[in-house]
């Protein structure tokens, strides 16, 4: 949460989490999830999104989740 509250963009928050040290994969994953909710998908750097495996499947799953929550 601290990484999200002390930065002003998705990438800043995630990079701050990674640079904390220790269990950075878990910390960055949680920070990335929170930052994604706060900043939105379109604010995730496109070069990061392009590297996601099975991106289309993940986007479809997120769309179904969104419909369920409406």
pLDDT in tens, 5-28: 999 999 999 999 999 998 899 999
31 is in an annotated binding site: no
Structural domains of the chain, count: 1
- Give 26-44 as a DSSP string: HHHHHHHHHHHHHH-GGGS
Average pLDDT score over the chain: 96
C-alpha closest to that of 24 among 64, 47, 32, 38: 32
The whole-model pTM stands at 0.84
C-alpha closest to that of 32 among 6, 40, 61, 23: 40
In which band, very low, low, confident or very high, does the pLDDT at 33 lie, cut at 50, 70 and 90?
very high
Q: Are 3 and 29 in contact (CB under 8 A)?
A: no
Q: How far is CA 13 from the centre of its chain?
A: 9
57 is in an annotated binding site: no
Q: Give the per-residue pLDDT at 9.
A: 98
């Amino acid at each position: 949460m601290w990484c999200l509250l002390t930065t002003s963009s998705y990438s800043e928050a995630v990079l701050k989490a990674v640079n904390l040290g220790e269990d950075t994969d878990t910390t960055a994953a949680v920070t990335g999830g929170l930052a994604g909710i706060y900043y939105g998908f379109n604010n995730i750097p496109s070069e990061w999104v392009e590297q996601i495996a099975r991106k289309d499947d993940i986007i479809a799953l997120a769309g179904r989740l969104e419909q369920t929550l409406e």
